[in-house]
Structure 1
Amino acid sequence: FNTKYLHFHNNIISMILPILINVTYLLILKSYMMSIPEALYESARLDGAGDFTVYLRIALPLCKAGLATVGLFIALNYWNDWYNAMLFLDEGRRDLYPLQYFLNNILTKAQAINAAAARSGIPASDVPTEPMKLAMTVVATGPIVLLYPFLQKYFVKGVTIGAVKG
Structure 2
Amino acid sequence: MENLVSPNDSAYSKRANAVATILFFILTVLILLPILLVFIVSFSTMDSITEVGYSFFPKGLSLDAYRYLMNSGSYLVRAFFNSVLITVSATLLGLFLMCPMAYVISRKEFRYRQILLVFLMIPMLFSGGMVASYMVNTQVLHLNNTYFALILPGLCSTWYILILRNYFQSAIPDSLIESAGLDGCRHPQIFLFIVVPVAKPVIMTVAVLQMFLFWNSWYPSLLYIDSNHTELYPLQYVLVNMERSIDAITKDAQYLSGMQASVAPAATIRMAMVVIVVLPVMILFPFFQKFLTTGMTVGAVKG
Moved over 6 A (4+): 124-127
Q: Corresponding residue for 2:154?
A: 19
Structure 1 residue 134 corresponds to structure 2 residue 241: no
Deviation of 1:164 after TM superposition, in Å, equals 5.3
Q: What runs of 5+ residues in structure 2 fail to find an aligned partner?
A: 1-134, 251-259
Tell me the distance in 2 between the aligned counterparts of 1:164 and 1:89.
Answer: 40
Compare CA radii of gyration and give the structure with the larger one: 2
Q: What is the letter of the counterpart of residue 91 of structure 1? A: S
Q: Corresponding residue for 1:148?
A: 285
CA contact 2:149–2:224 (8 Å) conserved in 1: yes
User: How does 1:70-85 map onto structure 2 within 5 Å?
Assistant: 70-85=206-221
CA RMSD of aligned residues (A): 2.1
Q: Corresponding residue for 1:10?
A: 145
| Residue of 28, 42, 47 corresponding to 2:163 | 28
Deviation of 1:155 after TM superposition, in Å, equals 1.4
Tell me the distance in 2 between the aligned counterparts of 1:53 and 1:161.
Answer: 24
Deviation of 1:76 after TM superposition, in Å, equals 0.4
CA contact 2:166–2:301 (8 Å) conserved in 1: no
Deviation of 1:153 after TM superposition, in Å, equals 1.5
Q: What is the letter of the counterpart of residue 240 of structure 2? A: N
Percent of matched pairs sharing the same residue: 39
- The TM-score normalised by the length of structure 1 is 0.84
Cα deviation per residue 1:48-70 (whole Å; 9 max; x = unaligned)? 21222211211122121121111
SS of 1:30's equivalent in the other structure is helix
Q: Corresponding residue for 1:88?
A: 224
Q: What runs of 5+ residues in structure 1 fail to find an aligned partner?
A: 115-123
- The TM-score normalised by the length of structure 2 is 0.48
